[in-house]
């Protein structure tokens, strides 16, 4: 590998990371692309693994050919090293630099290979996971995040159920419903929490009739047509407010919501279903950005400038960790970030810069129309599980707050146990903060002003034996 070239490390091989890696290589850098998954593509281009190559993968994807071009270009470029199954588990800031600690091997295995990288420039493209607000019964088997249904349909060709209800908020529900139809499931309905009023404000009229974000509009319009062909009702201003069943989901309660997302009394109806897929938006995967010290916006995304540079010198960010704008935005931001990280000329990616501007408009519309409204708390009951790991209920959280008088997330976590389990509050952290009315930056760390529940120095669990066998000096910087 050529020495002396600027070494750009890209974390995440979704649309943003793939575009960043290619742009950085084209701008003349030596590039290492890391992803924890054992294949490229991220969430958007999740596909069957090499062990089960599909003849017609493209029917499930938009811009499948773009994925082929990007991954092909990267694999063919000798200046690019792609490392799959590469979990970045922590990021350190030795004086004047960045160090990435990586374990390469099967997920959660003992004895994975150690890789330590100290790049000249870092592009974070770690994406997001979907956020599901709790509701009574959401812990029953058969309730999935919408992303899970999508991932299982695309990556496993598994249908999560036969009669499936899709609910939550945002345009993402449409591709989820589509993917479910492609598994042969009956989609009973798609229930969008945002009411017609909010949708009109965010989208002018209807989600798929967008001005500006042409690509995304076309994609969404395609999904809408598909739902119509399958006679799947799309119902704004509604939510799944409870799931029922003995040991697994057998039915759900659907209710109309008011503008604030509070259920309207008397509108509840039960619908039989054997699976429910629910997602109310996305939570960016901020661990590495927080560890690097990147400034976050009040809405909890990584702050970037026009060149996708974060507040930390040497660190760029792209894709869903900078805002929820979909794959178009991710691709455009990735191209800009990769170019800038390599020290290239942004004039070369003018097209991407323009595409990004359009996509940002789209992201703002999503938030305006589908952003979580506080009334959802009204569908909770005292026995509703809030923290799935520790099984802490809403009633217990309220009780603890009342008894201790504390509204601070860290204290309430430690006294109610909510958020202390293996997922480390990835599922319930934001929910807890909203319930407590704690400022997003709460959960103060050592009394300082810290990024709250998004601070997780260990990005994923690591086997103690693997920690113990780390080399005692800062090690290899290859590849």
Partner 1 sequence: MTSQRIAVERDPVEPGPDRPLTIWVDGEPVTGTAGQTIAGVLLGAGRRQWRTTREGGAPRGVFCGIGVCFDCLVEVNGLPDVRACLRRAQDGDVVADQGAPPSGGSLPEVTS
Partner 2 sequence: MIERVDVAADVVIVGAGIVGAACARALARAGARVTVLDRVAAASATSAHGEGNLLVSDKGPGPELELAKVSLRRWAHLADELADELGPLFPSIEHEAKGGLVVVTSADGLDGLRGFAEAQRAAGVEAVEVTAEQARELEPDLAPGVVGAVYYPQDAQVQPVAAAEALLASARRAGAVVRTEVEVTGPLLGDGGRLTGVATTRGEVSAGAVVVAAGPWSAEVAERLGARIAVRPRRGMVLVTTPMRQRVRHKVYDGDYFAATQSAGAELQTSAVIESTRGGTVLIGSSREQVGFDDRLSTQVLAQLARRAVAVFPFLARTNVMRSYLGFRPYMPDHLPVIGPDPALPGLWFATGHEGAGVGLAPATGDLLAAGMLGLAAAVDPRPYAVDRPTLRPRVAHGEALA
Ligand X SMILES: Cc1cc2nc3c(=O)[nH]c(=O)nc-3n(C[C@H](O)[C@H](O)[C@H](O)COP(=O)(O)OP(=O)(O)OC[C@H]3O[C@@H](n4cnc5c(N)ncnc54)[C@H](O)[C@@H]3O)c2cc1C
Contacts with partner 2 by CB under 8 A lie at: 90-93, 101, 108, 110, 291, 390, 399-400, 403-408, 410-411, 414-417, 420-422, 424, 442, 444-448, 450, 456-458, 461-465, 467-468, 470, 472
Does position 468 interact with partner 1 (CB under 8 A)? The reply is no
Does position 55 interact with partner 1 (CB under 8 A)? The reply is yes
Question: Cα(324)–Cα(311) distance, rounded to whole angstroms?
Answer: 19
CB of 406 to partner 2, least distance (A): 6
Residues in the chain: 479
Q: Which token pair is 274?
A: 């054997």
For the segment 192-251, give every residue that binds partner 1 (CB under 8 A). Answer: 247-248
Window 159-178: contact mask with ligand X (x via CB under 6 A): -------------x--x---
By C-beta, is 240 or 412 nearer to partner 2?
A: 412
Give 31's strand partners: 8, 80
Q: Which token pair is 401?
A: 């707050």
Give 130's strand partners: 282
Pairing of strands 163-168, 275-279: parallel
Question: Cα(158)–Cα(171) distance, rounded to whole angstroms?
Answer: 22
Which helix (H) or strand (E) segment holds residue 164: the answer is strand 163-168
CB of 125 to partner 2, least distance (A): 21
DSSP state, residue 141: T
Question: Cα(183)–Cα(161) distance, rounded to whole angstroms?
Answer: 9
Does position 423 interact with partner 1 (CB under 8 A)? The reply is yes
Is the Cα dihedral 146, 67, 37, 289 positive or negative? Answer: negative
Give 328's strand partners: none
By C-beta, is 11 or 380 nearer to ligand X?
A: 11
50 contact, one of ligand X, partner 2, partner 1, none, CB 5-8 Å limit per kind: partner 1
By C-beta, is 129 or 356 nearer to partner 1?
A: 129
Window 90-109: contact mask with partner 1 (x via CB under 8 A): ----------------xxxx
Pairing of strands 186-192, 163-168: parallel
CB of 447 to partner 2, least distance (A): 4
The label of the residue with tokens 């309660």 reads: 253
Beta-carbon contacts of residue 458 (< 8 Å; ≥ 6 apart): 89, 90
Window 5-44: contact mask with ligand X (x via CB under 6 A): ------xxxxxxx----------------xxxx----xxx
Among 9, 70, 74, 88, binds ligand X (CB under 6 A): 88
Return left, alpha or beta for 237; rule: phi > 0 is left, psi -120 to 50 is alpha, else beta: left
Is the Cα dihedral 307, 311, 317, 318 positive or negative? Answer: negative
275 contact, one of partner 1, ligand X, partner 2, none, CB 5-8 Å limit per kind: partner 1
Window 309-338: contact mask with ligand X (x via CB under 6 A): ----------xx-----xx--x--------
Window 163-182: contact mask with partner 1 (x via CB under 8 A): -------------------x
Q: Which token pair is 475?
A: 């090690």
List residues binding ligand X (CB under 6 A).
11-17, 34-37, 42-44, 86-88, 125-130, 147, 150-151, 172, 175, 285, 288, 319-320, 326-327, 330, 447, 459
């Amino acid at each position: 590998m050529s020495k002396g070239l600027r070494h750009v490390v890209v974390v995440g091989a979704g649309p943003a990371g793939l575009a960043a890696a290619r742009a950085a290589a084209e701008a003349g850098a030596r590039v290492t692309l890391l992803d924890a998954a054992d294949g490229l593509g991220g969430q958007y281009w999740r596909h069957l693994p090499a062990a089960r190559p599909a003849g017609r993968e493209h029917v499930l994807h938009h811009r499948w050919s773009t994925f082929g071009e990007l991954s092909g270009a990267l694999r063919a470029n000798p200046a690019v090293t792609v490392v799959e199954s590469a979990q970045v588990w922590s990021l350190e800031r030795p004086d004047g630099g960045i160090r990435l600690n990586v374990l390469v091997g099967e997920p959660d295995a003992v004895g994975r290979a150690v890789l330590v990288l100290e790049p000249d420039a870092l592009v974070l493209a770690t994406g997001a996971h979907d956020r599901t607000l709790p509701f009574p019964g959401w812990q029953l088997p058969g309730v999935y995040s919408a992303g899970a249904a999508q991932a299982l349909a695309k990556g496993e060709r598994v249908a999560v159920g036969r009669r499936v209800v899709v609910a939550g908020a945002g345009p993402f529900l449409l591709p989820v419903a589509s993917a479910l139809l492609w598994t042969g499931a009956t989609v009973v309905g798609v229930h969008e929490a945002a009411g017609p009023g909010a949708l009109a404000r965010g989208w002018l009229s209807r989600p798929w009739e967008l001005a500006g974000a042409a690509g995304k509009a076309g994609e969404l319009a395609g999904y809408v047509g598909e739902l119509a062909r399958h006679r799947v009702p799309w119902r704004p201003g509604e939510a799944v407010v409870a799931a029922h069943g003995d040991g697994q989901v057998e039915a759900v309660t659907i209710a109309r919501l008011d503008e604030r997302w509070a259920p309207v009394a008397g509108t509840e109806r039960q619908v039989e279903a054997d699976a429910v897929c629910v997602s109310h938006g996305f939570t960016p995967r901020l661990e590495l950005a927080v560890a690097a010290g990147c400034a976050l916006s009040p809405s909890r995304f990584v702050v970037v400038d026009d060149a996708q540079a974060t507040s930390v010198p040497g660190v760029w960010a792209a894709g869903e960790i900078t805002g929820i704008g979909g794959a178009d935005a991710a691709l455009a931001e990735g191209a800009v970030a990769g170019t800038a990280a390599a020290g290239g000329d942004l004039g070369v990616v003018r097209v991407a810069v323009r595409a990004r501007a359009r996509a940002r408009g789209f992201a703002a519309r999503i938030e305006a129309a589908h952003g979580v409204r506080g009334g959802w708390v009204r569908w909770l009951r005292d026995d509703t599980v809030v923290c799935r790991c520790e099984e802490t209920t809403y009633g217990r959280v309220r009780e603890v707050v009342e008894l201790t008088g504390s509204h601070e997330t860290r204290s309430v976590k430690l006294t109610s146990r909510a958020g202390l389990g293996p997922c480390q509050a990835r599922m319930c952290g934001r929910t807890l903060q909203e319930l407590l009315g704690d400022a997003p930056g709460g959960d103060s760390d050592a009394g300082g002003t810290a990024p709250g529940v998004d601070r997780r120095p260990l990005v994923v669990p690591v086997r103690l034996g693997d920690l113990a066998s780390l080399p005692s000096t800062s090690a290899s910087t290859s590849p």
